[in-house]
Amino acid sequence: MENLDRRMLLAGLGLVGAAAAASASAGSLNPPPGPVAATGKTTTEIEPRTAINATNTPGNATSLFRITQPGSYYLVGNIVGVSGKHGIAITASGVTLDLNGFQMAGVTLSLDGISATVGGLTNIAVCNGSVDSWAGSGIDLGTQGVIGCRIADVRARGNAQYGIKLKSDSIASNCTTTGNAQGIYTDTNCAVSNCTVSSSILGMSANNGGIFTNCTAYGNGIGFSLQFGGKLTNCLAEGNFTTGIDAGLAATVSNCSAYANTGVGILANDGTIVQGCLAGNNSANGITAAIGCTVRACHVAGNQLNGIQSDSNGQIVDNLCDGNGLAAGTQSNILITGNACRVEGNAVTGGDRGIATVGGGNLIVRNSVRGGTNPYAGIAGSNDVGPIGSAATSTSPWANILF
C-alpha cells in the first residue's frame, strides 16, 4: 500500500511539471498592444489588375469602355459592340490588356474593337482573345501612331478594315487573322512572328525595316508585302490570288516558300536578295527579280511562265530550275531581260527553254542544262558565254554543260 501511494504521488508531480513546461513554451495569452492588423493578402494583392467594367473603365459617346490610366487590365466576359462606338478605347501609355480568352464581337456600324484614340502614346500590349466583325479594325494601335506595342495570341476575324494595325517599333506574335480587308499591317521597324493570315485583300504588310518570321499567308489577294529593307524568313505564301511575296527595295527573302499563287511567286524589287527559297506551281513567274537583285540557291519548279526572270545587274547563281514554262508560248527556266547579269552554277532541267537572254553584256558560265527544245536560247552575241559542251569533253572551268 505504501508503494502504491508513493507511485501515485510521483505521477502527480510529473503531470504538474509537464503542465508547467507546456505553459512556459506557449507564451503569453495576452494580445499585443495596438490595433489588430490583417495577416492575409489583400484583394488587390490577390488580383493586382483592374477589371474592364462600367465602374472601373466607364465609356463615353464613342466607346463602350475607356482605359485612361497606366496599368494592367483584363476582361471578365465577352463584349458585344454598339453602333457608333469602339469596344475599348485606350487613352494612356503603359497599358496591358488581357482579353482573358474572351471574345469582343462588333456589330453593324460599330467602330474598332480596341483602339488607341489619342496620339503620343507608347507601350501598349493586348493579348489572349478574339476581336471579330467590327466595322472598323479589330485592333488599331497604328492610326494614332502608338510606338512600342505588343500584340500576342489574338484572333481577328471578319473586321471591315484591319485585323491588327501597328505603328513603329512594335511586335505581333502567335496571332491569326482571317476575312479582314487587311490582315496584319505594321509600320517601320516592326517584327511579326508565328502569325497566319488568310482571306484578306492584303495578308501581311510592313513598311521600312519590317521583319516577318515563321508566318503563313494563304488565300489573300497579296500574301506578303515588304517595303524598303524588310526581311522575310521561313514564311509560306500559298494560294494567294495575285503575288505570293512582294519584296520591296533592298529586302531579304530567305528560306521561304511561294506555292500555287495565281500571280508571281516571289516579286523582288531593286536590290533584293532571294536565297534558299522554293517557288513552285505559280501561275506566272516563279521569281521575278528587278535591277540589282541576287537569286541564290533557290528551287524553282513547275511555274506556268518563266522560272526565274531577272532584269539588269543581278546575280542568278546556284539555283535549281525544273520544268518551268508550262503555259503556251515561249517561256524559259531562266530568262535575263536586262544586261550585266552573272548567271552561274545553275542546274536546269525540262521546260521549253533552258537559259535565255533578251539583253546583252551578261556573263553566263558553269551552268548545266538538260532537256527542253532550246537549252541555251539566244545567249550568243554580246554576252560573255562559257563554252557549251558535255562534261566529258569540256576542258574549260567556265564551260556550260549540255547533257
Identify whether 217 is part of a domain. Answer: no
Q: Is 171 exposed, middle or buried (0-12, 13-18, 19+ CB in 10 A)?
A: middle
Candidates 161, 224, 226, 230; CA nearest to 197 is 224
**For residues 237 and 214, is the Cβ–Cβ distance under 8 A?**
no
Return the sign of the alpha-carbon dihedral for residues 43, 47, 53, 57: positive
Instruction: Give the distance between the most distant pair of CA atoms in the chain.
Output: 137
Helices (H) and strands (E) in the chain, counts: 2, 46
Nearest to 49 by CA among 125, 104, 112, 106: 125
Return the minimum-mean-pLDDT range out of 30-44, 70-84, 290-304, 332-346: 30-44
State residue 170's pLDDT score: 98
At residue 290, the 3 state secondary structure works out as: coil
> Does 343 fall in a domain?
no
Flag whether 90 is in a domain.
yes
Measured distance between the N- and C-terminal CA atoms of the chain, rounded to whole angstroms: 125
152 lies in a domain? yes
Indicate the DSSP class of residue 20.
H
Q: Which domain holds residue 84?
A: 58-193
Distances (CA, A) of 271 to 66, 249, 260, 306, 310: 46, 6, 25, 20, 12
232 belongs to a structural domain: no
pTM for the full predicted model: 0.88
Q: Is residue 355 part of a domain?
A: no
| Cα separations in angstroms, 114 against 4, 118, 139, 155, 371 | 89, 13, 5, 13, 58
Question: Is the sign of the CA dihedral 74, 203, 324, 356 positive or negative?
Answer: negative
**Model pLDDT, residue 9:** 41
Count of domains observed in the chain: 1
Torsion on CA atoms 172, 176, 182, 188, rounded to nearest 10: 10
**For residues 68-89, average pLDDT:** 98
Give the whole-number percent of the chain exceeding pLDDT 90: 83
Question: What does the alpha-carbon distance between residue 159 and residue 107 come to, in Å, rounded to a whole number?
Answer: 10
Copy the grid coordinates of residue 209: 525595316
Gyration radius of the chain's alpha carbons? 34
pLDDT in tens, 138-147: 999 999 999 9
Residue 292 lies in a domain: no
- Given pLDDT bands bounded at 50, 70 and 90, which one contains residue 45? low
Confidence of residue 329 (pLDDT cuts 50, 70, 90): confident
Instruction: Give 283-314 pLDDT, tens digit per residue.
Output: 999 999 999 999 999 999 999 999 999 999 99
CB neighbours of 248 closer than 8 A, spacing ≥ 6? 225, 226, 227, 228, 229, 230, 269, 272
Mean pLDDT of 379-384: 86
The predicted structure's pLDDT at residue 218: 98
pLDDT confidence tier of residue 27, bands split at 50, 70 and 90: low
> Is the pLDDT reported for residue 109 higher than 60?
yes
Q: Tell me, yes or no, whether 267 lies in a domain.
A: no
